[in-house]
């Protein structure tokens, strides 16, 4: 079985594949000060819910945007699974040309998403990943990664609002009844939810105009389904896109 791990700044998503089937997946917080054993026991306990023993894990692939986490996960794989993991980074075979001024600067998660999207969907594509940062990536119908843009994520944008405006409370990220709200909490929710949907629609529109294409827009990430429902530009939500990309990239390197 293949263990796929996508490490983001806020959350880490772990998936377990048997062949092409995603048997189970989990989302946990990324905690950089956990020890190797703490993470090892966490992962062991997670996949034991699928009734899988450590000996069933035959390979591991990791995508990571938090460099210090690799100092935990690489020795973890060797200690608990007796496997040297495949790390998504420079030199790995992705099957996708990266047209970036410095390809090494592109986040591993962005490349993984692009590979999965091109494999699964047709035509020109825009992938919007709602994570700690929200990334927008453009992939041509030929499977070329052309670049994109990065915006502050909805959660960190909201947290900045709570922290810098002393009279504003922390609010839940949920849809208010209207844009013209009648109380403080609903006013903040309207600004966050509808405002962020406008940001997404605006950037997608600019990408389409700049590339002169009618691209399919795919949303992924933890908040994809929440924000996508308020946009007019997102065509579909694929929450497992990154895990699928890791599986695909692994198959291209064995």
The encoded tokens of residue 117 equal 């999207």
Element (H, E) at 114: helix 108-120
Question: Would you please indicate which residues are annotated as catalytic (active-site) residues?
Answer: 109
- The C-alpha atoms of residue 176 and residue 190 are separated, in whole angstroms, by 6
Q: At what angle do helices 108-120 and 241-251 cross, to 10 degrees?
A: 90
Residue for token digits 């990154």? 242
Residues 110-113: contacts with CB under 8 Å, at least 24 apart: 110/135, 110/137, 110/145, 110/148, 111/145, 111/245, 112/6, 112/63, 112/88, 112/242, 112/245, 112/246, 112/249, 113/137, 113/220, 113/241, 113/242, 113/245
For residue 229, the number of C-alpha atoms closer than 13 Å in the C-beta half-sphere is 7
Q: Is 85 left (phi over 0), alpha (psi -120 to 50) or beta?
A: beta
Across-strand partners of 125? 139, 216
- The C-alpha atoms of residue 108 and residue 13 are separated, in whole angstroms, by 14
Q: Which residues contact 72 (CB under 8 A, 6 or more apart)?
A: 32, 34, 35, 36, 39
């Amino acid at each position: 079985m293949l263990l796929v791990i996508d490490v983001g700044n806020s959350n880490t998503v772990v998936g377990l594949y048997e062949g092409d089937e995603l048997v189970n997946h989990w989302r946990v917080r990324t905690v950089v000060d956990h020890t190797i054993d703490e993470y090892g026991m966490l992962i062991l306990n997670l996949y034991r819910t699928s009734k899988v023993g450590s000996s069933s894990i035959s390979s591991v692939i990791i995508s990571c945007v938090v460099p210090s986490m690799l100092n935990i996960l690489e020795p973890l794989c060797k200690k608990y699974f007796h496997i040297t993991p495949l790390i998504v980074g420079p030199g790995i075979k992705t099957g996708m040309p990266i047209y970036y001024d410095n390809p090494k600067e592109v986040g591993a998660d962005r490349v993984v998403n692009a590979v999965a999207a091109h494999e699964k969907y047709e035509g020109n594509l825009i992938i919007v990943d709602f994570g700690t940062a929200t990334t927008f990536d453009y992939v041509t119908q030929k499977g070329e990664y052309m670049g994109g843009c990065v915006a502050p994520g909805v959660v960190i944008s909201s947290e900045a609002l709570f922290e810098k405006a002393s009279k504003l409370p922390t609010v839940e990220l949920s849809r208010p009844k209207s844009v013209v709200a009648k109380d403080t909490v609903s006013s903040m929710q309207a600004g966050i939810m509808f405002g962020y949907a406008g940001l997404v629609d605006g950037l997608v529109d600019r990408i389409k105009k700049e590339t002169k294409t009618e691209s399919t827009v795919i949303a992924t990430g933890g908040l994809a389904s929440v924000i996508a429902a308020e946009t007019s530009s997102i065509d579909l939500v694929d929450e497992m896109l990154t895990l699928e990309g890791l599986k695909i990239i692994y198959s291209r390197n064995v």
